[in-house]
């Protein structure tokens, strides 16, 4: 049996963290505490114990704003994602406790993605040699799943679930500064159902369609992953789709659809000196345009030449899918620009970044980086990601001309 390179690399990193902690140290509560909102863990680290994976029925609790799930001998996430289910395990987990935000109290969108994964763990594979006599440690995956902390050797009875539970509860009580006592929900299945119902309730408050809720439940349960119904990339895409859908609702008030003719100096969407580029990202359509002409050049009845007030070297016009399908007008979410004052107004002006949104124009300051199209579109997408709280990556779909030939033809000079 073989172990793939990602498992060996991750395993060596864990071994290194163990080497920094003397093996005789007793497992103990942390000397630091969680601060602020804890990020959701991206389920991509191959050694994380898989949520909802247990050799027995498990247990679940509510404790303050958290939901806890106790699992016996969960398998590694890398094995779940692997086509070879007979891989040698790098880490043995007799028990793990997965911590989630309660959906009604979460600072994030409602999710079955955990924020912490505690575990009693033992390294059993090192450079091709099985080592089952290694000591057990108390460990924790946190900080988006990219950090693993080791809290010393666990010397109590490894097969006593009450001792394990006491260890986990004592740790979490100190780390999360928890009040009172946890309240039991039931076994893992009942806990997962409870968490799913809370998520559905919260999504219902935000007006999300039931089909989207069902899609999220499939994604987050990981049962689909374990049975091979979804691969790793498909799971990440669905997860990003959910986050983008919910974030879209949150930013709608700040970035509502805006009639482009209310700001005639903004670039005309989809007009480009070349064929342009068409991208999609979540619920948005994005158009990357070269040297677009301003709206007023299309709206004016003046047959004579109209001087350029501003040169738009490039822009990224962004529409929500709903507003793009509105046939009563052209309503953009935002238009990000690389612009320069026209020479007609005197002098060689510097480049600036700007955003048109909600009937206003915002100046983002001077732009001094390279002017290669790839550099510029990367900058535009960075701005869009931050402003619209986008998750994942944009997808290139082809040229503007290819997808919207009729609209592009209507913008040609001889037809305006």
Residue 168's pLDDT band, with cuts at 50, 70 and 90, is very high
Q: Using CA atoms, how far apart are residues 295 and 298, in angstroms rounded to an integer?
A: 5
**CA angle (237 as vertex; 231, 240 as ends), nearest 5:** 140
Q: Provide the pLDDT for residue 62.
A: 96
Residue 32: its pLDDT value, please?
A: 55
- Per-residue model confidence as pLDDT tens digits over 94-153: 999 999 999 888 888 777 789 999 999 987 754 445 455 678 999 998 876 668 888 888
Residue 177 backbone dihedrals phi, psi, to 5 degrees: 55, 55
Going from the C-alpha of 260 to that of each of 166, 300, 323, the distances in angstroms are 61, 14, 12
pLDDT band at 306 (very low <50, low <70, confident <90, very high): low
Span of 60-64, 180-184, 289-293, 297-301 with lowest mean pLDDT: 297-301
CA dist 373 and 361 (Å) reads 23
Give the contacts of 40 (CB within 8 A, at least 6 positions apart): 108, 111, 113, 114, 115, 144
Q: Cα separations (Å) of 231 from 10, 91, 104, 238, 308?
A: 20, 22, 29, 11, 51
284 vs 84, which has greater pLDDT? Answer: 284
Q: Which pLDDT value is given to residue 190? A: 92
Looking at residue 126, what is its pLDDT? 47
Q: Please give the pLDDT value at position 344.
A: 52
Whether residue 343 is predicted with pLDDT greater than 80 in this model: the reply is no
Nearest to 359 by CA among 380, 331, 337: 331
Q: Report the pLDDT value the prediction gives residue 1, as an integer from 0 to 100.
A: 34
Instruction: Please tell me whether residue 81 adopts helix, strand or coil conformation.
Output: helix
Chain centroid to CA 31: how far? 30
Residues 212, 43, 383, CA angle at the centre, nearest 5°?
Answer: 70
C-alpha–C-alpha distance, residues 298 and 296, integer Å: 5
The angle subtended at Cα 40 by Cα 34 and Cα 42, nearest 5°, is: 130
Where do the DSSP E strands lie in 358-403? Answer: 360-366, 395-398
How sure is the predictor about 184, in pLDDT bands with cuts at 50, 70 and 90? very high
| Closest listed residue to residue 192, CA positions, set 65, 94, 54 | 54
Average model confidence (pLDDT) across the chain:
77
Section 344-354 average pLDDT: 72
Pairing, β 91-101 against β 116-123: antiparallel
For 278-290, what is each residue's pLDDT tens digit? Answer: 999 988 999 999 9
Non-local CB neighbours of 399 within 8 Å, separated by 6+ positions: 275, 276, 277, 278
Alpha carbon 294 to its chain's center = 35
In this model, does residue 298 exceed pLDDT 70? yes
How confident is the model over 2-30, as pLDDT tens digits?
334 444 444 444 434 433 333 334 455 55
Looking only at the bridges linking them, the beta strands covering 331-332 and 334-341 are: unpaired
In this predicted model, what pLDDT tens digit does every residue of 213-268 receive, in sequence order? 444 444 454 444 444 455 556 656 766 776 777 778 778 888 988 888 878 888 99
Share of the chain above pLDDT 70, in %: 70
Dihedral pair phi/psi, residue 58, rounded to 5°: 70, -175
pLDDT exceeds cutoff 90 at 304:
no
By mean pLDDT, which of 35-39, 88-92, 176-180 is the weakest? 88-92
* Weakest-pLDDT range from 118-127, 191-200, 317-326, 343-352: 343-352
> Token digits for 275?
């064929």
- Number of Cβ within 10 Å of residue 169's Cβ equals 19
Cα–Cα distances (Å) from 72 to 56, 104, 186, 336, in that order, read: 6, 27, 15, 51
- The whole-model pTM stands at 0.51
Would you tell me how many other CB atoms lie within 10 Å of the CB of residue 129? 7
Q: What percent of the chain has pLDDT over 90?
A: 31
């Amino acid at each position: 049996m073989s172990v793939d390179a990602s498992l060996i690399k991750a395993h060596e990193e864990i071994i290194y963290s163990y080497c920094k902690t003397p093996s005789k140290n007793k497992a103990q509560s942390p000397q630091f505490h969680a601060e602020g909102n804890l990020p959701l863990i991206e389920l991509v680290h191959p050694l994380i114990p898989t949520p909802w994976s247990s050799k027995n029925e498990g247990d679940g609790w509510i404790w303050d704003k958290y939901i806890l799930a106790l699992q016996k001998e969960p398998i590694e996430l890398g094995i779940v994602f692997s086509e070879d289910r007979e891989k040698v395990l790098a880490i043995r987990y007799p028990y793990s406790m997965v911590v989630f935000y309660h959906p009604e109290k979460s600072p994030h969108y409602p999710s079955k993605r955990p924020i912490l994964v505690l575990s009693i763990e033992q390294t059993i594979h090192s450079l091709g040699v099985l080592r089952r006599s290694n000591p057990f440690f108390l460990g924790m995956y946190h900080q988006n799943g990219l950090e693993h902390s080791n809290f010393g050797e666990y010397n109590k009875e490894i097969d006593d679930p009450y001792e394990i539970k006491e260890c986990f509860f004592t740790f979490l009580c100190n780390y999360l500064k928890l009040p009172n006592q946890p309240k039991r929900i039931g076994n893992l299945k009942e806990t997962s159902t409870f968490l799913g119902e809370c998520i559905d309730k919260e999504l219902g408050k935000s007006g999300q369609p039931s089909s989207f809720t069902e899609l999220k439940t499939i994604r987050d349960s990981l049962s689909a992953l374990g049975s091979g119904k979804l691969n790793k990339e498909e799971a990440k895409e669905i997860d990003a789709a959910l986050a983008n859908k919910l974030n879209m609702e949150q930013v709608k008030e700040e970035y509502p659809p805006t009639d482009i003719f209310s700001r005639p100096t903004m670039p005309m969407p989809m007009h480009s000196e070349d064929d342009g580029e068409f991208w999609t990202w979540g619920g948005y359509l994005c158009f990357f345009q070269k040297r677009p002409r301003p709206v007023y050049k299309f709206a004016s009845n003046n047959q004579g030449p109209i001087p350029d007030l501003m040169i738009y070297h490039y822009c990224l016009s962004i529409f929500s899918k709903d507003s793009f399908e509105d046939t009563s007008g052209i309503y953009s979410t935002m238009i990000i620009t690389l612009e320069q004052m026209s020479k007609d107004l005197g002098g060689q002006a510097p480049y600036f970044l700007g955003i048109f949104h909600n009937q206003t124009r915002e100046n983002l300051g001077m732009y001094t980086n390279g002017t290669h199209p790839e550099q510029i579109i990367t900058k535009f997408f960075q701005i869009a990601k931050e402003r619209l709280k986008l998750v994942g990556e944009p997808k290139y779909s082809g040229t503007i001309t290819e997808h919207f030939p009729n609209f592009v033809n209507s913008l040609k000079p001889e037809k305006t």
